[in-house]
Amino acid sequence: MIDALNALVAERGRWGFWKLFDRLRAQGQTWNHKRVHRVYCALRLNLPRRTVRRVPKRTRQPLEAPRLLNQTWAMDFMSDMLYDGRRVRALTIIDEGNREALDIVVAASLPSVRVTRVLDALALVHGAPQAIRVDNGPEFLAQSFVEWCAAHSTAIHHIQPGKPDQNAYIERFNRTYRTEVLNAHLFESLEELQALTDTWLRVYNEERPHDSLGRVPPLTFLPRPQPAAESPLEVSA
């Protein structure tokens, strides 16, 4: 019985007990199902079996600082915990051209549809980027994210699995955000965390010196063009 069960599990690793038992019966075995189940549990076949996550192969993405804004954005997710133990996630987005933090959105859940809504809001203000650099997380492999990028003619630069250095700008930004905000305070609510994050974003972009940018803030190093003011005729119209 042990040999028969192990042989079936090796061949059909995703089958549960009853599928295995029915297959044994189809092979002509007459063992009682209670007896087979005792052996099945003794072999620890009832425990979840780890499967290898299939990550598509990626080509190495060169990390070159673009000279222009909106050429490449970088995105990533972070995790943290509120004071009462609730888990939260943060979506961080920067422009690699001047390391400006475009947005940080915190929430209990950030599915791919929410990610595309954030991108829609940023694209209305800044325009869509030519490319977005991301890892191989499920939100960045989802169809909604892929379709958003295709609709805006934005290339997706997936880094190689296990190579966070290929997205080093956002990784370094995340470390700063964690040090100066997440690890420096205790938060009782998502609203409190988002409010302090928004305040910190303004300081980061406009006041905090950035070592790799000649010790000036991102918006001093490479200012972002302001939207043209409406003329009096346009306003009166």
What are the tens digits of pLDDT across the range 178-196?
999 999 999 999 999 999 9
Residue 193's closest CA among 66, 87, 122, 52? 87
- 217/207 Cα distance (integer angstroms): 6
Confidence at 204, pLDDT banded by 50, 70, 90 = very high
What are the tens digits of pLDDT across the range 14-70?
788 999 999 999 999 999 999 999 999 998 887 666 655 566 667 776 677 777 899
Segment 214-224 shows an average pLDDT of 92
pTM of the complete model: 0.72
Which is more confidently placed, 225 or 167? 167
